[in-house]
Amino acid sequence: MKKIAFIGLGTMGTPMAKRLLKFGCKVNIFDISKEAQSKFTEENVIVSKSPEDACSEVDFCITMLPRSEDVYEAILGPNGAINSLKRKSLVIEMSTIYPETTKDIYNKLGSKDIHMIDAPVGRTPREAISGELLIIAGGNKENIRKAQPILKLMGNEIIHVGEICSGINMKLVNNYMSMVGMVMTAETILFAKKVGVDVDKAVNILQGTAAGKGQINVNFPKKVLAGDITPDFPLSMGLKDISLALKLGEKNKLPLNLGRISKEYFALAKKFKRESQDCTAMLHLIEEINNMKK
């Protein structure tokens, strides 16, 4: 029976810890909320007084906390896990935090011969309950291998991205796209509503277009990421269309803020001699603007 400390019993942490208990792991739990801890009545659970207490004699420590400072305190604080973790034990850090915090904790644990991977999760509490989380892992192969049996109890898709911090880096890349997409989707629905289009019909139409399905699924893989920037739809036409949309939004007194920023990029295509290239060549254009081209 694996002996695990689980620190952080929030919306995601609680069902994740419950999965470990369901499959016979012995789990020492800790959360600053006594109410959160009171939800655990399983025979193979021990309620701990602190992260240090929870990590006494365990082989694995999982942290699933809201903020960078919470993780730092739980692992490195005065009553932190580092004070009781055994040599060669493994910390599995699953929170969404700043990568520099992850790296700092990794280095400090390493100085005491304590191992660590970062393994943030994707999906929702529903998948946490069913054990169908996406787990995006960073760390050396041996530590990932050691963590696999535990990770498989919580997720059905485990992707090893690379070395330490690559998991949280990828999680933040994903969340960036997701949160910007939230704003874009909200602006788009309001735009349709403002110009008199029925919202249900607009959503139905958008779900069948490249715009609604997402460029990462539709055009980027078959065009620029495949090395093809011959124009299916050139950047110059993209500039024309986004200009028309912004003009319509302005007429209807709706500030399309993401659209205005996007137009600035399309307008730069001519300066960089890319106006005749496919719209997906926006990738190369932004690389050039930021001096990222090799």
Q: Which residues are annotated as catalytic?
A: 171
CB atoms within 10 A of CB 178: 10
